[in-house]
Structure 1
Amino acid sequence: MARIYLASSWRNPHQPWMVDLLRQDGHQVYDFRNPPHSTGFSWSDIGLDAKACTAEEYRHALLTHPRAAQGFNADFAAMRWADTCLLVLPCGRSAHLELGWMAGAGKRTVILTQDGEEPELMALLADKICISPDEVRQEMRR
Protein backbone atom coordinates (compact mmCIF):
# COMPACT_ATOMS: atom_id res chain seq x y z
CA MET A 1 0.00 0.00 0.00
CA ALA A 2 1.05 3.58 -0.64
CA ARG A 3 2.14 6.31 1.77
CA ILE A 4 0.29 9.29 0.31
CA TYR A 5 0.78 12.99 0.83
CA LEU A 6 -2.54 14.48 -0.25
CA ALA A 7 -1.88 18.06 -1.36
CA SER A 8 -4.90 20.29 -1.74
CA SER A 9 -6.63 23.32 -0.24
CA TRP A 10 -8.51 23.97 2.97
CA ARG A 11 -11.31 25.22 0.72
CA ASN A 12 -11.48 22.02 -1.33
CA PRO A 13 -14.61 20.08 -0.28
CA HIS A 14 -13.21 16.87 -1.83
CA GLN A 15 -10.14 16.70 0.43
CA PRO A 16 -11.71 15.08 3.55
CA TRP A 17 -13.54 12.32 1.73
CA MET A 18 -10.56 11.59 -0.53
CA VAL A 19 -8.45 11.06 2.63
CA ASP A 20 -11.13 8.71 3.98
CA LEU A 21 -11.55 6.85 0.67
CA LEU A 22 -7.83 6.17 0.32
CA ARG A 23 -7.55 5.07 3.94
CA GLN A 24 -10.45 2.68 3.41
CA ASP A 25 -8.40 1.17 0.58
CA GLY A 26 -5.59 0.50 3.08
CA HIS A 27 -3.26 3.38 2.21
CA GLN A 28 -1.54 5.56 4.78
CA VAL A 29 -2.59 9.13 4.04
CA TYR A 30 -1.24 12.35 5.53
CA ASP A 31 -4.11 14.75 6.25
CA PHE A 32 -2.80 18.32 6.52
CA ARG A 33 -6.07 19.35 8.16
CA ASN A 34 -5.53 16.84 10.96
CA PRO A 35 -1.81 16.04 11.11
CA PRO A 36 -0.56 13.67 13.78
CA HIS A 37 0.98 15.43 16.79
CA SER A 38 -0.36 18.85 15.73
CA THR A 39 -3.27 20.76 14.28
CA GLY A 40 -3.61 22.01 10.74
CA PHE A 41 -1.86 25.32 10.13
CA SER A 42 -3.81 28.50 9.46
CA TRP A 43 -2.47 32.00 8.89
CA SER A 44 -4.76 33.18 11.67
CA ASP A 45 -2.72 30.95 14.03
CA ILE A 46 0.08 33.49 13.72
CA GLY A 47 -2.11 36.58 13.73
CA LEU A 48 -1.88 37.20 10.01
CA ASP A 49 -4.75 38.23 7.76
CA ALA A 50 -3.57 36.52 4.60
CA LYS A 51 -5.70 38.76 2.37
CA ALA A 52 -4.73 42.06 3.96
CA CYS A 53 -1.13 41.71 5.12
CA THR A 54 1.87 43.38 3.56
CA ALA A 55 4.69 41.41 1.98
CA GLU A 56 6.91 42.45 4.88
CA GLU A 57 4.38 41.23 7.49
CA TYR A 58 4.02 37.93 5.63
CA ARG A 59 7.75 37.36 5.39
CA HIS A 60 8.38 38.28 9.02
CA ALA A 61 5.61 35.99 10.33
CA LEU A 62 6.68 33.11 8.09
CA LEU A 63 10.33 33.35 9.11
CA THR A 64 9.95 34.06 12.82
CA HIS A 65 6.73 32.64 14.24
CA PRO A 66 7.15 29.25 15.98
CA ARG A 67 3.70 28.11 14.81
CA ALA A 68 4.67 28.72 11.17
CA ALA A 69 7.79 26.61 11.71
CA GLN A 70 5.71 23.88 13.36
CA GLY A 71 3.19 23.80 10.51
CA PHE A 72 5.91 23.77 7.86
CA ASN A 73 7.94 21.07 9.64
CA ALA A 74 4.88 18.82 10.04
CA ASP A 75 3.99 19.05 6.35
CA PHE A 76 7.56 18.77 5.08
CA ALA A 77 8.24 15.72 7.27
CA ALA A 78 5.14 14.11 5.77
CA MET A 79 6.36 14.95 2.27
CA ARG A 80 9.66 13.19 2.98
CA TRP A 81 7.78 10.20 4.53
CA ALA A 82 5.39 9.75 1.60
CA ASP A 83 6.19 7.76 -1.53
CA THR A 84 3.32 9.38 -3.47
CA CYS A 85 1.88 12.87 -3.82
CA LEU A 86 -1.75 13.20 -4.83
CA LEU A 87 -2.68 16.74 -5.86
CA VAL A 88 -6.45 17.19 -5.56
CA LEU A 89 -7.71 20.17 -7.54
CA PRO A 90 -8.78 22.86 -6.99
CA CYS A 91 -5.94 24.00 -4.78
CA GLY A 92 -3.51 26.81 -4.30
CA ARG A 93 0.16 27.60 -4.66
CA SER A 94 1.40 25.64 -1.65
CA ALA A 95 -0.05 22.38 -2.94
CA HIS A 96 1.58 22.96 -6.31
CA LEU A 97 4.93 23.64 -4.61
CA GLU A 98 4.49 20.38 -2.67
CA LEU A 99 3.81 18.37 -5.83
CA GLY A 100 6.76 20.05 -7.57
CA TRP A 101 9.12 19.23 -4.71
CA MET A 102 7.95 15.63 -4.68
CA ALA A 103 8.35 15.32 -8.46
CA GLY A 104 11.89 16.66 -8.10
CA ALA A 105 12.55 14.19 -5.30
CA GLY A 106 11.63 11.32 -7.65
CA LYS A 107 8.42 10.39 -5.87
CA ARG A 108 5.28 9.23 -7.67
CA THR A 109 2.98 12.15 -8.46
CA VAL A 110 -0.68 12.02 -9.36
CA ILE A 111 -3.11 14.84 -10.12
CA LEU A 112 -6.87 14.51 -9.69
CA THR A 113 -8.68 17.05 -11.85
CA GLN A 114 -12.27 17.45 -12.91
CA ASP A 115 -14.36 19.31 -15.47
CA GLY A 116 -14.13 23.04 -15.04
CA GLU A 117 -10.53 23.17 -13.80
CA GLU A 118 -8.23 25.49 -15.72
CA PRO A 119 -5.76 23.45 -17.81
CA GLU A 120 -2.11 23.62 -16.74
CA LEU A 121 0.74 22.71 -19.10
CA MET A 122 3.19 21.85 -16.32
CA ALA A 123 0.85 19.10 -15.11
CA LEU A 124 2.95 16.99 -17.49
CA LEU A 125 5.48 16.79 -14.63
CA ALA A 126 3.08 14.42 -12.89
CA ASP A 127 3.32 10.69 -13.47
CA LYS A 128 -0.45 10.40 -13.91
CA ILE A 129 -3.40 12.73 -14.44
CA CYS A 130 -6.66 11.22 -13.22
CA ILE A 131 -10.16 12.53 -13.88
CA SER A 132 -12.09 10.53 -11.29
CA PRO A 133 -11.61 9.11 -7.80
CA ASP A 134 -11.91 5.63 -9.31
CA GLU A 135 -8.92 6.32 -11.56
CA VAL A 136 -6.96 7.52 -8.51
CA ARG A 137 -7.85 4.34 -6.61
CA GLN A 138 -6.75 2.22 -9.56
CA GLU A 139 -3.46 4.13 -9.85
CA MET A 140 -2.75 3.76 -6.14
CA ARG A 141 -3.04 -0.02 -6.42
CA ARG A 142 0.02 -0.06 -8.73
Structure 2
Amino acid sequence: MARIYLASSWRNPHQPWMVDLLRQNGHQVYDFRNPPNSTGFGWKDIALAPPFTAAEYRHALLTHPRAAQGFNADFSAMRWADTGVLLLPCGRSAHLELGWMAGAGKRTIILTQDGEEPELMALLADQICISPDEVIEALRQ
Protein backbone atom coordinates (compact mmCIF):
# COMPACT_ATOMS: atom_id res chain seq x y z
CA MET A 1 0.00 0.00 0.00
CA ALA A 2 1.32 3.42 -0.99
CA ARG A 3 0.85 6.83 0.59
CA ILE A 4 -0.02 8.90 -2.48
CA TYR A 5 0.00 12.61 -3.14
CA LEU A 6 -2.26 13.01 -6.18
CA ALA A 7 -1.17 16.20 -7.92
CA SER A 8 -3.68 17.59 -10.38
CA SER A 9 -6.02 20.52 -10.97
CA TRP A 10 -9.34 21.71 -9.60
CA ARG A 11 -10.36 21.87 -13.25
CA ASN A 12 -9.59 18.20 -13.90
CA PRO A 13 -12.93 16.37 -13.74
CA HIS A 14 -11.15 13.01 -13.30
CA GLN A 15 -9.45 13.96 -10.01
CA PRO A 16 -12.25 12.82 -7.63
CA TRP A 17 -12.67 9.57 -9.56
CA MET A 18 -8.92 8.89 -9.42
CA VAL A 19 -8.83 9.53 -5.66
CA ASP A 20 -11.60 6.95 -5.25
CA LEU A 21 -9.93 4.42 -7.57
CA LEU A 22 -6.62 4.61 -5.73
CA ARG A 23 -8.36 4.24 -2.36
CA GLN A 24 -10.41 1.29 -3.61
CA ASN A 25 -7.09 -0.37 -4.45
CA GLY A 26 -5.89 -0.05 -0.86
CA HIS A 27 -3.80 3.12 -1.06
CA GLN A 28 -3.88 6.11 1.25
CA VAL A 29 -4.46 9.21 -0.89
CA TYR A 30 -4.23 12.89 -0.04
CA ASP A 31 -7.12 14.74 -1.69
CA PHE A 32 -6.25 18.42 -2.04
CA ARG A 33 -9.94 19.19 -2.63
CA ASN A 34 -10.86 17.66 0.72
CA PRO A 35 -7.78 17.71 2.97
CA PRO A 36 -8.05 16.43 6.52
CA ASN A 37 -8.81 19.14 9.10
CA SER A 38 -9.35 21.78 6.42
CA THR A 39 -11.00 22.70 3.16
CA GLY A 40 -9.29 22.78 -0.21
CA PHE A 41 -7.56 26.06 -1.06
CA GLY A 42 -8.92 28.21 -3.88
CA TRP A 43 -7.76 31.62 -5.02
CA LYS A 44 -11.23 32.96 -4.26
CA ASP A 45 -10.43 32.27 -0.60
CA ILE A 46 -8.03 35.20 -0.61
CA ALA A 47 -10.12 37.41 -2.91
CA LEU A 48 -7.56 37.30 -5.73
CA ALA A 49 -9.51 37.40 -8.97
CA PRO A 50 -8.34 38.51 -12.40
CA PRO A 51 -7.30 41.00 -13.39
CA PHE A 52 -4.64 41.43 -10.72
CA THR A 53 -1.10 42.70 -10.79
CA ALA A 54 2.00 40.66 -10.07
CA ALA A 55 2.49 42.75 -6.93
CA GLU A 56 -1.06 41.95 -5.73
CA TYR A 57 -0.49 38.23 -6.39
CA ARG A 58 2.80 38.21 -4.48
CA HIS A 59 1.36 40.16 -1.58
CA ALA A 60 -1.65 37.83 -1.24
CA LEU A 61 0.49 34.71 -1.53
CA LEU A 62 3.01 35.89 1.07
CA THR A 63 0.67 37.50 3.61
CA HIS A 64 -2.77 35.93 3.54
CA PRO A 65 -3.28 33.36 6.33
CA ARG A 66 -5.47 31.22 4.08
CA ALA A 67 -2.67 30.96 1.49
CA ALA A 68 -0.29 29.83 4.23
CA GLN A 69 -2.81 27.31 5.53
CA GLY A 70 -3.45 25.86 2.05
CA PHE A 71 0.26 25.66 1.26
CA ASN A 72 1.09 24.02 4.61
CA ALA A 73 -1.66 21.42 4.20
CA ASP A 74 -0.47 20.44 0.74
CA PHE A 75 3.25 20.55 1.53
CA SER A 76 2.77 18.47 4.67
CA ALA A 77 0.98 15.89 2.55
CA MET A 78 3.82 15.93 0.02
CA ARG A 79 6.29 15.15 2.81
CA TRP A 80 3.96 12.42 4.20
CA ALA A 81 3.56 10.68 0.84
CA ASP A 82 5.98 8.08 -0.47
CA THR A 83 4.56 8.33 -4.01
CA GLY A 84 3.50 11.24 -6.19
CA VAL A 85 1.03 10.73 -9.02
CA LEU A 86 0.60 13.57 -11.52
CA LEU A 87 -2.85 13.39 -13.11
CA LEU A 88 -2.95 15.32 -16.36
CA PRO A 89 -4.25 17.76 -17.38
CA CYS A 90 -3.10 20.05 -14.62
CA GLY A 91 -1.38 23.33 -14.04
CA ARG A 92 1.91 24.68 -12.84
CA SER A 93 1.44 23.95 -9.14
CA ALA A 94 0.95 20.23 -9.73
CA HIS A 95 4.09 20.13 -11.85
CA LEU A 96 6.04 21.92 -9.12
CA GLU A 97 4.70 19.41 -6.60
CA LEU A 98 5.77 16.38 -8.64
CA GLY A 99 9.13 18.00 -9.38
CA TRP A 100 9.72 18.53 -5.66
CA MET A 101 8.78 14.90 -5.00
CA ALA A 102 11.17 13.67 -7.69
CA GLY A 103 13.94 15.79 -6.18
CA ALA A 104 13.12 14.43 -2.73
CA GLY A 105 13.68 10.90 -4.01
CA LYS A 106 10.05 9.84 -3.82
CA ARG A 107 8.47 7.53 -6.37
CA THR A 108 6.77 9.49 -9.14
CA ILE A 109 4.21 8.47 -11.74
CA ILE A 110 2.61 10.54 -14.47
CA LEU A 111 -0.79 9.59 -15.86
CA THR A 112 -1.21 11.09 -19.30
CA GLN A 113 -3.74 10.59 -22.05
CA ASP A 114 -4.13 11.19 -25.76
CA GLY A 115 -4.09 14.85 -26.67
CA GLU A 116 -1.88 16.06 -23.81
CA GLU A 117 0.95 18.41 -24.71
CA PRO A 118 4.25 16.51 -24.57
CA GLU A 119 6.76 17.50 -21.90
CA LEU A 120 10.44 16.56 -22.07
CA MET A 121 10.99 16.83 -18.32
CA ALA A 122 8.42 14.07 -17.77
CA LEU A 123 11.52 11.88 -17.97
CA LEU A 124 12.16 12.86 -14.33
CA ALA A 125 9.24 10.62 -13.36
CA ASP A 126 9.85 6.98 -12.53
CA GLN A 127 6.98 5.90 -14.77
CA ILE A 128 4.70 7.39 -17.39
CA CYS A 129 1.35 5.62 -17.58
CA ILE A 130 -1.35 6.02 -20.21
CA SER A 131 -4.29 4.50 -18.34
CA PRO A 132 -5.53 4.26 -14.76
CA ASP A 133 -5.03 0.48 -14.99
CA GLU A 134 -1.33 1.05 -15.72
CA VAL A 135 -1.08 3.28 -12.63
CA ILE A 136 -2.67 0.59 -10.46
CA GLU A 137 -0.29 -2.02 -11.90
CA ALA A 138 2.74 0.26 -11.41
CA LEU A 139 1.77 0.75 -7.76
CA ARG A 140 1.68 -3.02 -7.27
CA GLN A 141 5.31 -3.36 -8.35
TM bracket, shorter-chain basis: over 0.9
- Where does 1:51-66 land on structure 2 (aligned, <5 Å)? 51-66=50-65
1:8-23 to structure 2, matched below 5 A, reads 8-23=8-23
1:62 Cα deviation after fit: 0.3
1:3 aligns with 2:11: no
The one-letter code matched in structure 1 to 2:32 is F
Normalising by structure 1, what TM-score?
A: 0.98
Deviations 1:96-142 (A, max 9, x none): 00000000000000000000001100000000000000000001112
RMSD: 0.5
Please list every run of 5 or more consecutive structure 1 residues that lacks an aligned counterpart in the other structure: none
Instruction: Output aligned runs, 1:25-36, within 5 Å.
Output: 25-36=25-36
Structure 1 residue runs of 4+, over 3 Å off? none
Q: Report the AA paired with residue 69 of structure 1.
A: A
CA drift of 1:31 comes to 0.2
Identity percentage of aligned residues: 85
Q: 2:131 maps to what in 1?
A: 132
Question: Structure 2-normalised TM-score?
Answer: 0.99
Q: After TM superposition, give the deviation of residue 52 of structure 1 in Å.
A: 1.3
Give the Cα separation in 1 of the matches to 2:57 and 2:15: 26
- Stretches of structure 2 that go unaligned for 5 or more consecutive residues are none
